[in-house]
Amino acid sequence: MENAFGQPQNVVVFGGSSDIARAITRKLCAARTSKVILAGRNQKALDAAGDEAKDYGATTVSTVLFDAEEPQNAAAAVDAAFAAAGEPVDLVIIAVGLLGKQTEDEDDPEATLRMATVNYTWPVTALAQLRKLMVAQGHGRILLISSVASVRVRRTMYNYGAAKAGLDRFAIGYSQGLEGTGVKIQILRPGYVRTKMIAGLKEAPFTTGPNEVANYVMRGIANDSTVIWSPPILRYVFFVLRHLPTSLWRLVMDRQ
């Protein structure tokens, strides 16, 4: 069960070996989390993330394999993870995403489909199943990793940005539909984070490390904020950017 500070005792993580998910899981285990279920595509990477969770205090770790390119199996992946937990789940983290390479992907229908599937179709399908299971258990929290890229779609990563925008808006409606159920969804909108995902890209302003993201997440969980910005200043930066005329927006953002 979650305590008064929102600290969970058990956690299911989809995309459990991602850098941001690992940083959050470490923090949670250092607080109250004793049981961790890591779901992902690569058994070896999940095992490594599981060992790390144990280093920070987890006593029970199990893993579930799934492929985010197969949304038809998303509900089964959610069921498998909940079965592995064996008790009501306090927190579900969805850290599933694919950045892609816009200029290479934009002429490639298959790559474009893959971007839409991993970044939008799989997560929303999983969310529908999560809603069913968690509303029945009467409590729980979902942390969905969106992105500041969802706020306004950019030329240089519109496949990613558009899919995240869809997911992010889906989650806003989803959160309203959860009122009174005891279940909450919190949407994390990080800026650039120094992870495997953006390796090779030029570092943008307000870039943080995964540990800083994890700190903002801990604070966001304690405060029950529906949207968690990381770093928090991006909320104001993107308020301005979102309202710029397109020509100015492109002048600023296309260079990055």
Stretch that binds another protein, among 93-101, 121-129, 162-170, 215-223 (CB under 8 A): 215-223
Count of residues touching another protein (by CB under 8 A): 26
Distance between CA atoms of residues 10 and 32, nearest Å: 8
256 touching another protein, by CB under 8 A: no
| Residue numbers 132-151 binding another protein by CB under 8 A | 135-139
Nearest to 174 by CA among 184, 182, 188, 189: 184
The type of residue at 30 is A
Regarding 88 and contact with another protein (CB under 8 A), the answer is: yes
Q: Is 124 in the site for another protein (CB under 8 A)?
A: no
Q: Do residues 228 and 187 lie in contact, with contact meaning Cβ atoms separated by under 8 Å? A: yes
The token pair that represents 132 in the structure block: 């069913």
Question: Are 23 and 210 spatial neighbours (Cβ–Cβ below 8 Å)?
Answer: yes
Least distance CB 77 / another protein (angstroms) = 22
Site string for another protein, 18-47 (x = CB under 8 A): -------------xx---------------
Question: Hey, which residues between 183 and 212 contact another protein (CB under 8 A)?
Answer: 183
CB of 172 to another protein, least distance (A): 19
232 binds another protein (CB under 8 A): no
**CA R_g for the chain:** 17
Task: Give the total residue count for the chain.
Answer: 256
Distance CA 185, CA 202 (A): 32
CA 129, CA 117: separation in Å to the nearest integer?
16
CB of 145 to another protein, least distance (A): 21
| Contact positions vs another protein (CB under 8 A) | 1-7, 9, 31-32, 87-88, 135-139, 180-183, 218-219, 222-224
